[in-house]
Amino acid sequence: MNRNKNRIGIIWLIIGLVLGTSYKLIAQDASMVKIPDGYWRPFFKGTDTLISVSTFYLDKKQVTNEEYEQFVAHHPEWSSEKVKPVFADENYLIHWKNRSESDQRVLSKQPVVNVSWFAARAYCRSLGKRLPTTAEWEYAASAPPIGRSINDSILQEIIANWYSRRIEAGKPVGSIYENSYGLWDMYGQVWEWVLDFDAMKSSDDSRGQDVIPQGLFCGSASMDVVDASDYTGFIRFAFRSSLKGNYTVRNLGFRCAASSAPHP
């Protein structure tokens, strides 16, 4: 039985190599879940229509330091020595500097942080994936923890608890809660990059670009939102709008998405 599995694995590996992708892709297949299509009610009122989200696939957990190290090993242009400043600022992977072996062991299963948007995007691309969009991310994250109703306030509690307390030393990925899609720690672990993190600032996005920038500041902030009590939503949007593509932040990691079923 085991041998059979191994044999299938080897065949997959060969197919993978033939397809010109790395073996890692296959290793990660089981790490994604399918998110069924549906609608996401945008946070800001300026958009009175629901945004439809097509079926997509999302990593169950955030990318870990260990996984990211493998990526850097294969793509040395993304090492902290070689990366270009336009793609990542000076704090890129700074938590890897001068770490002891035991630090490294502890870190290996924790989400990688201090990575820029460009770096996160490159990582996902290297696996034939991409970053999730804001709509996809918010839609997937809105699912309640397994066994809990969408209507109870458990998500708000998880988020508020995270915001209102100092973050303790990092936790391994997959240690806080699993939601009904099978995704781990959408909240409560680290912030996550999304593909269109700066959509609110860009002019080519028609989604209320004149509403949002000033809507995020001062008293007007409460005027334009669907649900003013969703204050944790404000924070994510404020956080995203404080970022630039080459920024790295100590509490900001990522996970990858894919539009179609991952290979094979």
Partner 1 sequence: MKRNTYLNFFIITLVWMMLFSLNSCKDKSAGYQVDLTKLPDREVFAELTDAPYVPPSRPEKGNAFVRVDLEIIEKTERLADGVDYTFWTFGGQVPGKFIRIRQGDLVEFHLHNHPDNLLPHNIDLHAVTGPGGGAEASLIAPGKSAQFTFRALNQGLYVYHCATAPVGMHIANGMYGLILVEPLEGLPPVDHEFYIMQSEFYTTGSFGEKGHQDFDMQKAMDERPDYVVMNGAVGAASGNNRMKVKVGETVRLFIGNGGPNLVSSFHVIGEIFNKVYVEGGTLINKDVQTTLVPAGGAAIAEFKCEVPGTLHLVDHSIFRAFNKGALAQIEVQGEEQFAVFTGKQKEEVYLPEGSAIQSISSGKRQIEQLDIPEKTLEERITAGQILYKQNCMACHMENGSGITGTFPPLVNSDFLQARSDHGIGVVLDGLQGEIMVNGVKYNNIMPAVSLNDDQAASVITYVLNNFDNGGGLVTAAKVKEWRNEQK
| The 3-state secondary structure of 50-80, one letter per residue | CEEECCEEEECCCCEHHHHHHHHHHCHHHCC
Residue 202 near partner 1 by CB under 8 A = no
Q: Does 165 interact with partner 1 (rule: CB under 8 A)?
A: yes
Three-state DSSP class for 26? Answer: helix
Contact flag: residue 79 with partner 1 (CB under 8 A): no
Minimal distance, residue 43 CB to partner 1, in Å: 10
Q: Is 239 in the site for partner 1 (CB under 8 A)?
A: yes
Contact status: 87 vs partner 1 (CB under 8 A): no
- Residue 26 to residues 21, 66, 74, 110: CA-CA distances in angstroms? 9, 17, 16, 21
Instruction: Tell me the number of residues near partner 1 by CB under 8 A.
Output: 34
What distance in Å separates the CA atoms of residue 126 and residue 21, rounded to the nearest whole number?
8
Task: Decide if residue 176 touches partner 1 (CB under 8 A).
Answer: no
Contact of 161 with 188, CB cutoff 8 Å: yes
Does residue 248 interact with partner 1 by CB under 8 A? yes
Contact (CB, 8 A) for 140 and 183:
yes
Site membership for partner 1, residue 115 (CB under 8 A) = no
Nearer to partner 1, 3 or 166 (CB): 166
Cβ-based nearer residue to partner 1, 116 or 126:
116
**Contact residue for partner 1 among 140, 173, 194, 216 (CB under 8 A):** 216
The nearer residue to partner 1, 35 or 113, going by C-beta atoms, is 113
Q: 202, exposed or middle or buried, with CB in 10 Å at 0-12, 13-18, 19+? A: exposed
Of 26, 243, 256, 257, which one interacts with partner 1 (CB under 8 A)?
243
Q: Report 1-40 residues binding partner 1 (CB under 8 A).
A: none
Task: Assess 217 for contact with partner 1 (CB under 8 A).
Answer: yes
How many Cβ atoms sit within 10 Å of the Cβ of residue 45? 14
Closest CA to 60 of 92, 90, 29, 88: 29
Binding segment for partner 1 among 22-30, 57-65, 68-76, 158-166 (CB under 8 A)? Answer: 158-166
Asked if residue 237 binds partner 1 (CB under 8 A), the reply is yes
**Nearest of 173, 142, 150 to residue 59 by alpha carbon:** 173
Asked if 147 touches partner 1 (CB under 8 A), the answer is: no
Task: Tell me the torsion sign for CA atoms 65, 71, 75, 76.
Answer: positive
Interface residue list for partner 1 (CB under 8 A)? 91, 160-167, 213-219, 221-222, 229, 231, 234-235, 237-239, 241-243, 247-252
